[in-house]
Copies of this chain bind each other. A is one copy, B any other.
Amino acid sequence: MSEKALLAWIRSRPSPGADPSFLALDTGIGDDCAVLATEGGDALVVTTDMLVEGVHFRIEEGAARIGRKAVAVSLSDVAAMGCAPRFVFVSAGLAPGTPDDAARDLVDSMNAIAERHGAIVCGGDVVASPGGLTLSTTVLGVGRTGRVLRRSAAEVGDRILVTGDLGGSLRGGHLDFEPRCAEGVALAARPGVHAMIDVSDGLSTDLHHILEESGAGARVEAACIPISAAARATAERSDRSALGHALNDGEDFELLFTADPEEAARLLAEPPFETALTDVGEIRPAAEGAVLVLDDDEERPLRAEGHEHLC
């Protein structure tokens, strides 16, 4: 069963609500984070991610980079909701014989990336993991319920924008990316910004997540995709083009979002942060599907060819 099939099955299960408390479940499975809401309008968003040795990293990449990635991946999910990360929890399964230095490097790198983005590691678990290093990270972020940005909020006519550039993950970007936390919060403060997601599976697949949840289609201009230098370098030794890497490789952890045309124009004219912003296309009616417009105006379907984690 694919991850997608399993998640669809999980979402189809009936689920009674929990008893009332000062926090109530607003949105469960199906976005970058679950959303818990207070009566006062505060939102607590929660995400959890697991990274497994040999799947998401190689041990040779070093404990410091691996620990950093584990936390950064979850910080990015909070950023994708337009919320500020605050509290980090880590479960670590350490292989027998893990050197003390490696364990300390893991902890230090996790603390450092959390603190760099205004969060703090405040709990966790440490266990033995004979199959290799496994890290599970949970991050709690805060925002206002009215300004939590969801995948489902794209509107026909919205422009589609992306931060930074894409396609560098295979050359180390998947470890060393900077989660777009401040950018996510800044975008949530703009009323014309509608839907948002982080590019974890590749732009092609993550845009499809927005389209599916919003019931919309899209036209994406190939010439506008911000292809990273690393994607071009990767393409020189690959059977795929630089554009293909930028659209499909995943683990860029840039923010992909939609905004009404006026807000998009304002953001592009006066960006609220230094990170690059690029307009890559337009949200269209669902009936038009997802279309990639090539340089010669040829059109072809934009398929979700990004990463899908296999069970």
> Which A residues are closer than 8 A to B by beta carbons?
1, 3, 6-7, 9-10, 13, 15-19, 21-23, 25, 28-29, 33-34, 36, 38, 40, 42, 44, 46-56, 84, 86-87, 89-94, 96, 98, 100, 103-104, 107-108, 111, 115, 118-132, 134, 136, 138, 140, 142, 309-311
Contacts and interface: CB of A to CB of B under 8 A. Distances in A.
B6 A103 contact: yes
A22 B40 contact: yes
A19 B84 contact: yes
A45 to B, nearest CB: 10
A34 B91 CA distance: 14
B28 A123 contact: yes
A193 to B, nearest CB: 21
Contacts of A103: 1, 6, 311
B87 A130 contact: no
Given A115-B16, A119-B18, A120-B18, A48 B134 contact: no
Contacts of A15: 111, 115, 120-122
Given A46-B89, A125-B49, A13 B107 contact: yes
Given A7-B126, A16-B120, A48-B124, 18 more contacts: A1-B98, A16-B115, A19-B84, A25-B120, A29-B122, A33-B123, A36-B87, A47-B123, A48-B90, A48-B123, A48-B136, A49-B91, A50-B92, A94-B311, A96-B310, A126-B311, A128-B310, A138-B138
Q: Which 6 A-B pairs have the closest CB atoms?
A: A131-B131, A136-B136, A50-B91, A28-B122, A34-B123, A21-B142
Given A7-B126, A107-B13, A126-B7, A50 B136 contact: yes
A140 B34 CA distance: 12
A22 B42 contact: yes
A52 B119 contact: no
A156 B50 CA distance: 43
Nearest to A50: B91
B87 A120 contact: no
Nearest to A88: B18
Given A122-B29, A122-B34, A56 B127 contact: yes
B48 A128 contact: no
Nearest to A121: B15
Given A44-B23, A89-B138, A125 B18 contact: no
28 contacts: A9-B107, A10-B107, A13-B111, A15-B115, A15-B120, A16-B115, A16-B120, A18-B86, A18-B119, A21-B142, A23-B140, A25-B87, A28-B120, A34-B89, A44-B44, A46-B123, A47-B89, A47-B123, A50-B136, A52-B131, A53-B131, A54-B130, A89-B138, A96-B311, A128-B310, A129-B131, A131-B134, A138-B138
B87 A127 contact: no
A19 to B, nearest CB: 5
